Amino acid sequence: MSIVVWNVLLVSSLAGALDAELKQLDGSTRLGQIVSVSADDVVLATTAGEVKLSARELFSVEILSTDFEDEFDNDEDIRVELTDGSELRASNFRVEAGRATIDLQTGSHVRSATRTIRSVRFRKHNRELKEQWQAIAQADRAGDVLVLRKTNRTKDENGVEQVVTVLDSLEGALYDINDESIGFDYDGTRVDVSLDKVDGVIYVERGSSRAVEPVCRLMEKSGSIWNLKSLRMDGETLMGVTVSGVRATVPLDQLAKLDYSIGNLVFLSDLQPESVEWIPTVQTRSTPPSLKDFYRPQIDRGFFGAPLSLDGQSYEKGLAIHSRTVMQYRLTREFRRFAATVGLDSRFRAAGNITLLINGDGEPLFTQKIVNSDAPIAIDIDLKGVRRLTVTVDFGDDMSDIGDYLNLCNARLLK
């Protein structure tokens, strides 16, 4: 029996409701049962006793019994997006006098002003409808938008009838919403539009929201996602407030995952570099674009489609970089540290020989030669005050690029 399976069996014998896997930013994991959670820390009951871990060092807490794929795809859900990016799965949505009531799939209710709501989708979208919705949502507008679903019937060249569903939009002012209709003012005329004709509504954003970042993202088994600025556990219930000020009440048995990384870090692989330059060992006047594409950095995977890994351990996030490559990032937020686990890809390690350089605002922060005999290296660099970060994977002492495939795993900027 493996150690992991044995630990799970031991943990399941402890008193408590939820078996969980806790992942830390350094890549380590712990198995246990949730004792308490908050915006500041998480307490787990483990086979070795209770362990309290600071949220500043957490990546996530995931409930072991949750099946995300099966739980998160209910076609009958009403999708409510809040202005802070929270996404709620609802069974009903009503508005009266500027106050919305959202009946969640879990059976709980949310009441909030419509100014905290970005949009509501009443029906399922296929790929084409999703693209149409996004185009409508991203368009400039001065008022609320009523999105209508229409069915067009046409005949093709063979006379066969074709049915095409499209979305149309009207700009105006939204009023009350009930189970049958939506009050809407269009060009000064107020009408009640049957809900059967409506695909969704998009509220105009009134005023600018404060730049407050969530400390945690809570995911429910139903698929609702809450971006929270506060969180506490009250008995069998999780209580929180979203960044936009909406109060969340989630039964503990509905918890699927707590993502603390949203409040702690940004993965380098999720940022768009300001520039990327690959320089071959032998430079010519014109390097073929196909060669540059072949050696471009790989995002969240290794080269040639392989998983991103070091010494047999796989990583979900990171970059695979070939020498000689220079990547530059402009940091628009304040970060405290840059951390990662780095090493040569074991598939090509025998011939690898590189130098890793990390600069901040043109000043050297880290330099390390990495050869085929080196084990993976954990780096942790002070980034205070840095606004431009440069990562260079250079040739090693052999001045060759043979085997020079560096994996920069779990590369993250810590807030």
Secondary structure of 276-332 as H, E, C letters: EEECCCCCCCCCCHHHHHHCCCEECCCHHHCCEEECCEEECCEEEEECCEEEEEECC
Q: What are the backbone dihedrals phi and psi of residue 158, each rounded to the nearest 5 degrees, phi first?
A: -100, 5
| Cα separation, 284 vs 113, whole angstroms | 62
Supply the pTM of this predicted model: 0.72
Tokens standing for residue 18: 């939820």
Name the band, by pLDDT with cuts 50, 70 and 90, for residue 143: very high
Q: Which domains does the chain have, with CATH numbers?
A: 3-65 (2.30.30.100), 75-210 (2.30.30.100), 266-414 (2.60.120.1060)
Q: Bigger pLDDT: 59 or 8?
A: 59
Q: Hey, what amino acid is at 295?
A: Y
Confidence check: pLDDT of 3 > 50? no
Confidence check: pLDDT of 94 > 50? yes
Closest CA to 394 of 364, 367, 361: 367
Give the least confident one: 25-29, 280-284, 315-319, 400-404. Answer: 280-284
Q: What DSSP character marks residue 76?
A: T
**Mean pLDDT computed over every residue of the chain:** 86
Tokens standing for residue 148: 């209508």
Name the band, by pLDDT with cuts 50, 70 and 90, for residue 93: very high
Query: Which residues face 278 on adjacent strands?
Result: 325
Task: Give me the residue label for tokens 């940022």.
Answer: 271
Q: Hey, what amino acid is at 308?
A: L
Most confident of 69-83, 142-156, 281-295: 142-156
As a residue count, the chain comes to: 415
Q: Bigger pLDDT: 231 or 155?
A: 231
